[in-house]
């Protein structure tokens, strides 16, 4: 009996050990007996687009190593290229992109990471293509994202006078702020029997398209009026809207403009501090209110079928170009209530 109890005492730990061993893996720190639990893969020789690589894994218990070859992917795009990138920044009218060239195999991606042109007005799945009642066309966006809230009848032909005023103001500001220019905003420009600072004449052009101020400025900046007209045309080309806007600065009635082209000009003008100052001063003296607020810019075509406006919205500016044969005077209220 005593013997039997002693045996049980001796056997019990063995039984327990066996039970334990059956229930879960028991590891011993011995490479030969180890049932290996491997951890993550490590690059030993990184795979390139030209040569296969090797990865290794190590046993968490005994640190035994297994290695595997890594083949070069058959899909050339999936290979580990040694790219050097050449970044082409977007311009006002053209997309930016990156050209990637692999120094190892010569593989090249001509246009990666494409970004839109700086003043492209962008559509998303949220862009509405039906305008609230009362307008035939509506382009609404903001200066921070250029993403369209409304994109309705962008290609419709509209009165060109707003586009003309925006294009002329933009060209004048460009000339006055160009590096190395002889005529800066503070330069006195001959006007009437005396002279006025160029900036004051620019603001007179912005406020009511004063023809004498425009002539004085265009002569001071470009020598003569036809040279200035050519600069305006070139400015429209640079902005990429020359197919959508053609204007004669000295005869603003009769040019051609689309709603979308006018809106792109508007977006560009709002990005120019000197012009924003001039248009805001003009809008304030006009006593126009847009949706109960003082606009940063407000222009209405002579025939009343087109209005462009802009309102501060935090760090950004919301802007709208709206047209219609019977535009309600309060049409912008609902637009600018959008948070």
Q: What is the dihedral of CA 53, 59, 65, 71, to 10 degrees?
A: -20
Closer by beta carbon to Zn ion, 32 or else 325:
32
Q: How far apart are CA 317 and CA 327, in angstroms?
A: 23
Q: Taking the complex as a whole, how short is the minimal distance between the CB of residue 65 and Zn ion, in angstroms? A: 10
Chosen residue from 45, 55, 56, 64 binding Zn ion by CB under 5 A: 64
Measured at the alpha carbon of residue 267, what is the angle toward residues 262 and 273, in degrees to the nearest 5?
A: 125
Measured at the alpha carbon of residue 213, what is the angle toward residues 208 and 218, in degrees to the nearest 5?
A: 120
Instruction: Please provide the DSSP assignment of 84-138 as one string.
Output: EEEEE---SSS-EEEEEEETTT--EEEEEEEE--TTPPBP-TT-B-SPPTT-SEE
Chosen residue from 45, 56, 72, 104 binding Zn ion by CB under 5 A: 104
Q: Which residue is associated with the tokens 């809230």?
A: 149
Q: Taking the complex as a whole, how short is the minimal distance between the CB of residue 69 and Zn ion, in angstroms? A: 19
Q: How far apart are CA 43 and CA 203, in angstroms?
A: 65
User: What x-and-dash track marks residues 81-100 binding Zn ion by CB under 5 A?
Assistant: x-------------------
Q: How far apart are CA 166 and CA 321, in angstroms?
A: 12
Q: Taking the complex as a whole, how short is the minimal distance between the CB of residue 34 and Zn ion, in angstroms? A: 3
Stretch of residues binding Zn ion (CB under 5 A), selected from 14-22, 77-85, 146-154, 328-336: 77-85
72 lies in the binding site for Zn ion (CB under 5 A): no
61 lies in the binding site for Zn ion (CB under 5 A): yes
Question: What's the Cα-to-Cα distance from 142 to each of 4, 146, 173, 321, 329, rounded to whole Å?
Answer: 92, 5, 21, 12, 22
Closer by beta carbon to Zn ion, 79 or else 128:
79
62 lies in the binding site for Zn ion (CB under 5 A): yes
105 lies in the binding site for Zn ion (CB under 5 A): yes
80 lies in the binding site for Zn ion (CB under 5 A): no
Q: Taking the complex as a whole, how short is the minimal distance between the CB of residue 107 and Zn ion, in angstroms? A: 5
Q: Taking the complex as a whole, how short is the minimal distance between the CB of residue 21 and Zn ion, in angstroms? A: 17
Q: How far apart are CA 34 and CA 26, in angstroms?
A: 9
Chosen residue from 49, 70, 163, 299 binding Zn ion by CB under 5 A: 49
214 lies in the binding site for Zn ion (CB under 5 A): no
* Beta-bridge partner residues of 65: 58
Q: Which of residues 107-126 bind Zn ion (CB under 5 A)?
A: 107
Distance of CA 250 to the CA centre of its chain: 34
Closer by beta carbon to Zn ion, 27 or else 219:
27
Chosen residue from 45, 59, 72, 196 binding Zn ion by CB under 5 A: 59
Question: What's the Cα-to-Cα distance from 127 to each of 121, 138, 266, 316, rounded to whole Å?
Answer: 11, 11, 19, 18
Q: Taking the complex as a whole, how short is the minimal distance between the CB of residue 67 and Zn ion, in angstroms? A: 15
Q: Taking the complex as a whole, how short is the minimal distance between the CB of residue 52 and Zn ion, in angstroms? A: 14
From first CA to last CA, the distance across the chain in angstroms is 91
Q: Taking the complex as a whole, how short is the minimal distance between the CB of residue 80 and Zn ion, in angstroms? A: 8
Chain residues binding Zn ion by CB under 5 A are: 34, 36, 49, 59, 61-62, 64, 81, 102, 104-105, 107
């Amino acid at each position: 009996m005593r013997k039997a109890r002693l045996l049980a005492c001796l056997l019990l730990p063995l039984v327990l050990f066996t039970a334990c061993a059956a229930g879960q893996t028991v590891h011993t720190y011995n490479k030969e007996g180890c049932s290996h639990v491997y951890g993550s893969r490590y690059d030993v020789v990184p795979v390139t687009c030209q040569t296969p690589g090797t990865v290794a894994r190590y046993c968490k218990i005994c640190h035994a190593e297994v290695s595997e070859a890594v083949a070069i992917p058959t899909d050339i795009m999936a290979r580990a290229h040694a790219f050097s990138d050449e970044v082409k920044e977007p311009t006002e009218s053209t997309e930016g992109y990156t050209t990637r060239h692999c120094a190892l195999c010569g593989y090249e991606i001509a246009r990666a990471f494409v970004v839109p042109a700086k003043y492209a007005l962008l559509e998303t799945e949220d862009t509405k293509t039906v305008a609230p009642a009362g307008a035939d066309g509506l382009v609404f966006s903001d200066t921070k994202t250029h993403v369209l809230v409304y994109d309705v009848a962008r290609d419709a032909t509209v009165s060109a006078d707003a586009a003309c005023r925006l294009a002329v103001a933009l060209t004048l500001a460009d000339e006055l702020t160009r590096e190395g220019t002889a005529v800066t905003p503070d330069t006195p420009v001959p006007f009437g029997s005396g002279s006025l600072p160029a900036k004051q004449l620019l603001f007179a052009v912005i406020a009511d398209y004063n023809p004498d101020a425009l002539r004085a400025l265009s002569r001071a900046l470009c020598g003569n009026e036809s040279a200035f007209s050519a600069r305006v045309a070139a400015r429209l080309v640079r902005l990429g809207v020359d197919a959508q806007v053609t204007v004669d600065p000295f005869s603003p009635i009769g040019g051609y403009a689309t709603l979308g082209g006018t809106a792109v000009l508007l977006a560009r003008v709002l990005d120019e501090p000197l012009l924003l100052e001039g248009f805001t001063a003009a809008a304030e003296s006009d006593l126009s209110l847009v949706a109960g607020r003082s606009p940063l810019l407000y222009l209405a075509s002579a025939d009343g079928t087109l209005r462009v406006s802009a309102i501060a919205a935090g760090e950004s500016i919301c802007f709208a170009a709206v047209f219609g044969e019977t535009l309600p005077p309060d049409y912008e209220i609902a637009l600018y209530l959008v948070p």
